[in-house]
Each structure stands twice: as structure tokens, then as C-alpha cells.
Amino acid sequence: MFWNYTDGYYSMTPLGNAVLIAIGVAVLALIGFMRSKKSTEKSSSRFSVTTITFAGVSIALAYVLSYVKIYQMPWGGSITLLSMFFVTFVGYLFGPGVGFSAGFIFSILEFLQDGGSYMLSPFQVCCDYFLAFTALGLSGLFKAKKNGLVVGYVVAVLARGIFHTIGGYIYWMDYMPDNFPVSLKVVYPICYNFAYLIPEAILTVIVISLPPVKKAIGSVRRLADKG
């Protein structure tokens, strides 16, 4: 009902895709409701709307920018225009609860974008999408730390890479491209994933460290805190 199995791989049905989207929307609404319960009745609705609005806009930006590929790596994977940052930014603004929720919703969108028609197994999907992108919410653990935005972003990206790498060792070793050195086969999943994640992370850290960008980020955070 939710997926088909043909010639050794799974593919999502339209109903399955619709259910995934509904789950994502429900998760974001639930986290907003749970956060609102911690405040007074007057401020709770305002905070809930603020949280959902900021998270929704950030996820939308991340999704759009995931299509903007700066460089396509020769082994696969691509460096995007700071797409991961906007997911980690949600965690930085509102903490890990909202951050993980935003990451999970983003994982659904990424799955529908390029993985919904081809799955080797449910756990492979978790490693490549649901666990990997939800891990971007780890940035929320550094919300109140010194240099928390940069540190949280780097930790989140590394965590995403680890999940991708686990999936690579379990499922993708037989798909190693011909242009990858055979002598380095044992580290193929590591090289494949971090070859595009690390350059994007470096580019992102440079951009968000620029004074005008830092000032803009500070303004956004103050606006979110007031909500």
C-alpha cells in the first residue's frame, strides 16, 4: 500500500509519499504545541506561531538550496549552496527538540526529492535519509554554548556523514564507481560522503563567519527570542 517491491528494490507509492508528508507536518505542529504548553496562554500561541514560522521558512530555504549544486563530485554527491545550514539554524534558534523535528521533516523532503523511487531496504532509507538528516538537529545541543552556531553546525554535519557512511558500508559497497581507486575500497563510503560534506561545511563556516552575515544571524536570533 505504501511501497512497491520490484526487481530487488522498493519504491514509494503516491499514498506512501502523502503519508510521509503528513507525518512531517504533524511532527512540526506537535512540537509547536508542546513548546507552547510551557508558557502562559497568551504567549504560548505567539511562541508556537514563531517557532513554526521560523522552522518552516528555514526548511523551505534548505530544500530550495539543496537543488543549487555548486559542484558535482566525481564519485557522486554534490556540494550545495549552504542547504544544511538552514536546518541546523533551527536547532540553534530553538534547541534540539525543534531542531530534530526540522531535521526529520527535511529528511522526508530529501527522500521524496531523490530517494522515493529507489530503496534497497527500510534501514537503508533510515541511514541515508531519516537518521542522517534528522541528525542535523544536534546543533540544538549547542544553542547556549560559546560559538554554538559554528560548533553545532560542524557536529551536526559530521553526524549526518556518519549515518551515511554506515549505510554505505552495509548497502553500497557493490556500487563503487569504476573511477574510484580499488586500493582505497575499504574507505569508499567515508570518502564518498565526506568528500562533499566537508567542503560544503568549510564553505558554510566561512560564509556565516563574515561580519555582515554574523550581524544578520544575530538579528534573526533576537527576533526569534522575542517571539
CA–CA gap between residue 207 and residue 201 (Å, rounded): 10
Q: Collapse the DSSP code of 95 into the 3-class scheme (helix H, G, I; strand E, B; otherwise coil) and give the result.
A: coil
Q: Residue 92 corresponds to which amino acid?
A: Y
Instruction: Return the number of other C-beta atoms located less than 10 Å from residue 184's C-beta.
Output: 11
Please tell me the predicted confidence (pLDDT) of residue 43. Answer: 43
At residue 19 the predicted structure's pLDDT band, cuts being 50, 70 and 90, is low
Domain range enclosing 153: 3-226
Q: What is the pTM of this model?
A: 0.83
The burial class, CB within 10 Å (0-12 / 13-18 / 19+), for 170 is: middle
- Cβ neighbours of residue 65 under 8 Å, at least 6 residues apart? 80, 81, 82, 83, 86
CATH for 94:
1.10.1760.20
Domain count, the chain: 1
Cβ(98)–Cβ(91) below 8 Å: yes
Least confident of 49-63, 149-163, 193-207: 49-63
